[in-house]
Amino acid sequence: MNKKQKKVLYRIIAAIVMIIVLELLPLTGAIRLILFMVPYLVVGYDILRKAIKGIWNRQVFDENFLMAVATVGAIILGEYTEGVAVMLFYQIGELFQSYAVGKSRRNISDLMDIRPDYANIESDGKMEKVDPDEVAIGSIIVVQPGEKIPIDGVVEEGNASLNTSALTGESLPRSVNVGDAVISGCINESGVLRIRTTKEFGESTVSQILDMVENASSRKSRSENFITRFARVYTPAVCYGAVALALVPPIVRLTVLGMTPEWGQWIYRALTFLVISCPCALVISIPLSFFAGIGGASKEGILIKGSNYLEALAQSKIVVFDKTGTMTQGVFEVIGIHHNIMPEKKVLEYAALAESFSNHPISKSLKKAYGEEIDSTRVSEVQEISGNGVTAKVDGDEVSVGNQKLMTQLGITADDCSQTGTIVHVAVNHTYAGHILIADRLKPHAESAIKELQKLGIQRNIMLTGDRKAVADQVAQTLGIHEVYSELLPGDKVSKVEELLAGKKEKDKLAFVGDGINDAPVLTRADIGIAMGALGSDAAIEAADIVLMDDDPLKIAKAIQISRKCIRIVYENIYFAIGIKILCLILGAVGIANMWLAIFADVGVMILAVLNAIRALFTRKQI
């Protein structure tokens, strides 16, 4: 509890003590009024100030105005105890709400406690702690055991085990050595690392993640926008309704029926009506539910950019996957060289050199299989043909490396392969030199992820890939995916997603899951873009609506599960709060409900709704 909350608590306790004392004393008349005004002002002066400020700024109709009018009116009618009690319980509800929201924020802060406080820089043989914002690109920073990596960089010296749980939600450590890229937010568990920074602190992964989580509340869902619009109409409506309740029945009794108007009774009913009508439960609990849902997802290493994406994810009925790097590990290995007209080593050398400027997983596997240092001076006139391969000059020879489409495009007859895998054809000086067979591995939880999505009621699981049909069909069959589209260029993937979007029901949402780099156009086009395996990827964080901070496909089902729980809680609060208020408003209008029931309809409902909203912060460990 912070200082402000403690101050409110002390005021509440003081007011309760004064009310008890005053109720025990035999006070009447003006003295009773004056003495009751003391606890009233002690506990409610800030509410009155906010109400007056709202009137001055022409923003009259809010909960502060409702409480001020209701309590002042009750005191004018001589109901001193009830007037003070309404303000007292309202403050108790506000205190509880403030504590609950603060607790949720602290929990999320703890879950995302990855912002480093300092960076170590060596100066004249001594270690100096500086603000991470002051560290320039290319600086050498030192990270000791137990410290957080403050800025993204590359290990220059040392080896260590890094705890990435704050980013990924997983406790499995990651080993790093010289030459490995490391990202900010990870905790060094062993060994001293000297890291050359590759980004400024403001551009580092840790800053991007924190900015994304902090800005998530700015992207409101339809439910939040509805409640905002509802409150703008609802609050003035009930105020006018209360005025009508206070004036119309007495006037009708007097002028039409010739009866006693009973002004005090109807004004009391109108004041009770105002207390009941306060929309606090809705205005507070709905945003808190989404905030808690985003926090619960963050704990699992699932970063959601806004409550609108959380709501859309809950409505997902179609999930479309990229293959490489999403359902497979993207760890390609050369397992054979076939139909070669020159030594296997020479075919591999040509392929590795031609692909030497690419960072594609297949290119990396070729260079790894070659096993020797790449001499880039031997390579010139490199041209990448999107979705097909590359052409280049290696030692003066024209080398083409790519898929069947590239060979067809160049007019070269290529031999097919009977084995399943990715086929990389190689041609030298427009003569077919052979092909290299490369195989990828499925991710450990890929098959389980599809089963979990089916359990969650996902109607269609679809895989899109640029790989050969034989490879794609085999992967899809193993995973249990019944729809697969293969041999697609990046533009073809966008077209296929647009086709799927056009064919689905209006309320159903389509989620696309990709690596966040090569699939950026598709991630943007889908209803929901989910970036997989994107630890530290700027492109993923930028393009996707939801980022999974590790490469576990099972997190897709977890994200949908969290989103649906959150939306279920939101609707529970909406139905509960509106239902109770409508019932109590009717009872108040006919004179059955008094101020004490009104207090429950306002403060009690708000507390129950806030407690329910906080449930969204917690998720089951296993699906």
Residue with tokens 């390579």: 379
**Ranges of the chain whose pLDDT falls below 70:** 1-2, 61-62, 97, 99-115, 165-172, 206, 208-228, 231, 280-281, 420, 516-518, 533-541, 619-623
Point out the residues that are catalytic: 322
Count CB neighbours of 191 within 10 A. 17
Nearest-angstrom CA–CA distance, 422 and 436 = 8
Tokens of residue 304, six digits: 């959601």
d(CA 529, CA 199) in angstroms, rounded, equals 26
Q: Which two tokens stand for residue 537?
A: 């990827």
Residues 6+ apart with CB under 8 A from 519: 322, 490, 493, 512, 543
Given a contact cutoff of 8 angstroms between Cβ atoms, the answer to whether 262 and 253 are in contact is yes
Q: Which residues contact 311 (CB under 8 A, 6 or more apart)?
A: 221, 222, 223, 290, 563, 567
Edge-to-edge strand ranges of the sheet holding 333-338: 333-338, 431-439, 422-428, 397-402, 389-394, 379-385
Domains and CATH numbers, the chain: 3-109+218-290+565-617 (no CATH), 136-199 (2.70.150.10), 302-329+443-549 (3.40.50.1000), 333-439 (3.40.1110.10)
The single-letter DSSP state of residue 204 is S
C-alpha triplet 245, 250, 251: angle, nearest 5° = 105
Evaluate whether 355 touches 390 at the Cβ level (below 8 Å). Answer: yes
Q: Are 347 and 426 in contact (CB under 8 A)?
A: yes
Using an 8 Å Cβ cutoff, are 483 and 473 in contact?
Answer: no
- Angle between helix axes 605-614 and 80-111 (nearest 10 degrees) is 10
CA distance 117 to 236: 48
61-77 burial by CB neighbour count: b if 16+ within 10 A, else e? bbbbbbbbbbbbbbbeb
Joined together, the tokens standing for residue 145 give 């055991």
Let me know how long the chain is.
Answer: 623
pLDDT computed for residue 259 by the predictor: 77
Amino acid found at 99: Y
Strands 160-163 and 174-176: antiparallel
Structure tokens at 233: 């109409």
Tell the residue number behind the tokens 């937010």, with chain if given.
Answer: 185
The rounded distance, in Å, linking the Cα atoms of 522 and 540 is 12
State which amino acid sits at residue 76: I
Cα–Cα distance, 313 to 241 (Å, whole number): 39
Q: For 148, which DSSP code? A: B
Q: What is the pLDDT of residue 532?
A: 79
Half-sphere exposure of 113 (CA within 13 A, CB side): 8
Alpha helices in 138-188 (DSSP H): 165-168
d(CA 72, CA 87): 10
Determine the Cα–Cα distance for residues 551 and 167; give it in Å rounded to an integer.
Answer: 12
pLDDT given at position 197: 92
Structure tokens belonging to residue 499: 């086709």
The runs of H, that is alpha helices, within 434-550 are 446-455, 469-479, 490-503, 520-525, 538-543
Read off the amino acid at residue 378: R
The DSSP bridge partners found for residue 188 are 162
SS3 labels along 281-326: HHHHHHHHHHHHHHHHHHHCCEEECCHHHHHHHHCEEEEEEECCCC
Token pair belonging to 264: 């005090």
Q: What are the CB-based long-range contacts (under 8 Å, 24+) for 237-245?
A: 238/66, 238/273, 238/274, 238/277, 238/585, 239/61, 239/65, 239/66, 239/274, 241/273, 241/277, 242/270, 242/271, 242/273, 242/274, 242/277, 243/270, 245/269, 245/270, 245/273, 245/589
Comparing CA positions, the residue from 70, 68, 80 lying closest to residue 39 is 80
Position 148 scores a pLDDT of 87
Contact 516, 539 (CB under 8 A): yes
Burial of 331 (0-12, 13-18, 19+ CB in 10 A): middle
Contact by Cβ (8 Å): 528, 514: no
Contacts of 223 (CB under 8 A, 6+ apart): 286, 290, 307, 311, 567, 570, 571, 574
